[in-house]
Structure 1
Amino acid sequence: MNIYYINVLLFSITLNILVPNLWNHKVTTKPHRDLCECELYTPPNYDNDPQMKEIMKNFNKQTDQRLKEYDERVIQNRKKCKEQCDKEIQQIILKDKIEKQLKDKLCTLQTDIDTDAIPACVCEKSVADKTEKFCLNCGKHMGAIAPWWGLVCDAGYSGWTHYTATTLVELATESGIKKGIEVGLANVAKIVKQMSGTIPVKIPKIKVAQVMTAGQFTDDVTFSGIVQALDGPTFAELGTGQHAQYSLCVQNIAKTFTLKTLKTEAAEVVTAFKEAEAGVLADGTATTSILHATIIASVVAIVVIVLVMLIIYLILRYLRKKKMKKKLQYIKLLKE
């Protein structure tokens, strides 16, 4: 019994020892580094590593490619520089050769040739060439436009002259009628005063436009026409007011009017009409003459400008041909 008891006690102690190991898990991560792991980064292991070999291979490949591109650019730039230097050297040699040939054969040319006659670039245009071209273009345009302008202006001027003449005659006639009516009204007032004698008469203020509306004055005016207009229905209201005596006298004049009795008054109206008409016609004729002279002066100025430009063009053309002839001599000499 004692033996069994001892065995039981021993077994319980063993179980107590195993219980903590079941609850404590094993930690595999080590907080330190072993010496054996450092051997991985030694030079033999570092160079033989596959990943490092791949990285070094890519690096060497990219470096070789960049160096190759750099060498190609250097070669290309050197080639360009060499070509440029060769061209400059050839130009210098050609220039020296031309200078020597010119010095050798200059005596065979004319002695009055100046430095301006040396052949220049075609694209370089002188002021003379530009002026010549401008004068030529201007002369062509003016020569083409001037006939049409003259034709149009001639037709327009003819129409304008006809219109002006018609309008001028109408204005002159209207002005003469107005002046004749003014003189006629003054003569009527004078006759009315003579007929009234000692009886006081109040002369009404009659406007010329009213008389022109009441009468038929188209081409001329007469004293009898003025009297008939005053005796018409337009001035009927004068017979009922303070101008009744004036209206009565006008009616008597209209009934007893003859050229023999009132010859002087009738002649004054006709004279005033003709003088006013002649004055307006004279003023209009003077204005038309001034405009006509202005148009003629402008045409003459345009013709003179065209002729001057053509003369300048011909002179510049002659000088340019002379200069080109000298240049051709130089070109021929250089080709030889």
Structure 2
Amino acid sequence: MKLHYTNTNNKNKPYIPSHTPTNTSRVLSECDVQTSFYDNDPDMKSVKENFDRQTSQRFEEYEERLMKNRKKCKEHCDKDIQKIILKDKMEKSLAEKVEIGCLKCGCGLGGVAAGVGIIGAVAVKEWTKAALLAAEKEALVEGTAEATKAGFDFGIQYIITEIKNQLKIYSIASSPLDKVITAETLNNPKQLIESLNIQYTDLCVTNGYKLEESLCSMAGEDHLQAISFIDRHINNIVGYAKQSADAHTSKITSETILKLTETKNAAVESTSVTCNTAIIASVVAILIIVLVMVITYLILRYRRKKKMKKKQQYTKLLKE
């Protein structure tokens, strides 16, 4: 039943009350809402059927388009997800390789730094000991050689000076004394004695005795006495020269060895300090590289995790 409001304003009454106001009232009325004026109308029935058919068809087409769009969207989302997953795997693999490489490199260099710091210091210390021993040996050999040479020079100069002072001889066979007298003379003066005997014979015997010649006047006219004179004086001079040379050699040897030892030890110590400085610098440089590698590893790891978290959230949203 259908309810209606009906205005009941009756103006067609036979009389009009003089003082009675006109009231307008609304009441509900019931009617049959199931019944329609067009239920039995063929045209309206055809229109309704046509409307229902078109509406149903449009709803079906809409559902098909909706399903098709959903399918396309799902396929597109799946492709995007696969691309994201593949790209993520590649980036993850590359990032992991870089991280592992940085970590391995840092660990390896850390071990190298420790090895260089420990083994290098020990090696330099042992090398310093060996170098100091070698320097002492070299200083001993070089010092002895220099002192021996200085002793021979001192002895030769002593012989030359004494021959000039005692025998007044300034040359032998027209050669200066420093050309005739050598280091061999200190050990074997016979050659010098023979040379002076020959010179005495030439000056004092062959061409006649010459008193103005110093060798003739000092050795005498008798040939045998002259030979004995030359032999005795030369042996005495060479003997004193040898003693003086030995004393001078001993004195020079200790001084020279000490000086050379100090010089060589200073060179070894300087080299040792340089090596230690180089080792320390190398260790510091390696440690800095290790620190950079570790920091790089931590940064890459943090960025990768942050990026992975964002991608997981994005993938989750796409799946939803």
1:169–1:271 CA distance, 2 compared to 1 (3 A): closer
Equivalent of residue 124 in structure 1, options 90, 94, 101: 90
Equivalent of residue 312 in structure 2, options 311, 315, 328: 328
Aligned counterpart, 1:199: 169
SS in 1 for 2:90: coil
Asked if the contact 2:106–2:294 (Cα under 8 Å) also holds between the matched residues in 1, the reply is: yes
Residue 142 of structure 2 is aligned to residue 187 of structure 1: no
- AA aligned to 1:164 is A
Asked if the contact 2:135–2:261 (Cα under 8 Å) also holds between the matched residues in 1, the reply is: no
SS in 1 for 2:91: coil
Task: Output one character per residue of 1:189-239: Cα deviation in whole Å (capped at 9) or x when no partner.
Answer: 2222222222344554449xxxxxxxxxxxxxxxxxxxxxx866xx57756
Residues of 2 paired with 1:295 and 1:246: CA distance? 64
Residues of 1 paired with 2:272 and 2:235: CA distance? 46
Task: Output one character per residue of 1:47-89: Cα deviation in whole Å (capped at 9) or x when no partner.
Answer: xxxxxxxxxxxxxxxxxxxxxxxxxxxxxxxxxxxxxxxxxx9
Asked if the contact 1:238–1:247 (Cα under 8 Å) also holds between the matched residues in 2, the reply is: no
Give the drift of 1:257.
8.6
Give the drift of 1:164.
1.5
Give the drift of 1:241.
5.5
Asked if the contact 2:186–2:242 (Cα under 8 Å) also holds between the matched residues in 1, the reply is: yes
- AA aligned to 1:292 is N
Aligned counterpart, 1:249: 237
Asked if the contact 1:136–1:309 (Cα under 8 Å) also holds between the matched residues in 2, the reply is: yes
Give the drift of 1:314.
1.4
Asked if the contact 1:180–1:272 (Cα under 8 Å) also holds between the matched residues in 2, the reply is: yes
Greater mean alpha carbon deviation, residues 164-173 or residues 326-335: 326-335
Residues of 1 paired with 2:262 and 2:234: CA distance? 33
Asked if the contact 1:184–1:269 (Cα under 8 Å) also holds between the matched residues in 2, the reply is: no
Residues of 2 paired with 1:125 and 1:172: CA distance? 67
Aligned counterpart, 1:277: 261
SS in 2 for 1:199: coil
Superposition map of 1:1-336 within 5 A: 92-96=72-76, 120-125=86-91, 128-196=95-163, 197=165, 198-200=168-170, 201-202=177-178, 204-206=181-183, 235=188, 242=195, 248-254=236-242, 270-336=254-320
1:236–1:95 CA distance, 2 compared to 1 (3 A): farther
Give the drift of 1:179.
2.3
- AA aligned to 2:272 is T
SS in 1 for 2:89: coil
Residues of 2 paired with 1:286 and 1:144: CA distance? 28
Give the drift of 1:167.
0.9
Residues of 1 paired with 2:101 and 2:190: CA distance? 79
Work out the number of aligned pairs and report it.
Answer: 205
1:252–1:205 CA distance, 2 compared to 1 (3 A): closer
Higher strand share: 2
Give the drift of 1:138.
0.8
1:304–1:284 CA distance, 2 compared to 1 (3 A): same
Give the drift of 1:309.
1.0
Asked if the contact 1:183–1:269 (Cα under 8 Å) also holds between the matched residues in 2, the reply is: no
Greater mean alpha carbon deviation, residues 269-278 or residues 236-245: 236-245
Asked if the contact 2:186–2:238 (Cα under 8 Å) also holds between the matched residues in 1, the reply is: yes
1:161–1:298 CA distance, 2 compared to 1 (3 A): same
1:94–1:276 CA distance, 2 compared to 1 (3 A): same
Asked if the contact 2:186–2:241 (Cα under 8 Å) also holds between the matched residues in 1, the reply is: no
Residues of 2 paired with 1:257 and 1:205: CA distance? 13
Asked if the contact 1:239–1:247 (Cα under 8 Å) also holds between the matched residues in 2, the reply is: no
Task: Output one character per residue of 1:271-321: Cα deviation in whole Å (capped at 9) or x when no partner.
Answer: 444333333333333333323322332222222221211111111112112
SS in 1 for 2:262: helix
> Any unmatched runs of 5+ in structure 1?
1-88, 103-115, 208-229
Asked if the contact 2:77–2:319 (Cα under 8 Å) also holds between the matched residues in 1, the reply is: no
Asked if the contact 2:159–2:238 (Cα under 8 Å) also holds between the matched residues in 1, the reply is: yes
Residues of 2 paired with 1:257 and 1:156: CA distance? 44
- AA aligned to 2:294 is L
Residues of 1 paired with 2:295 and 2:120: CA distance? 27
Greater mean alpha carbon deviation, residues 191-200 or residues 90-99: 90-99
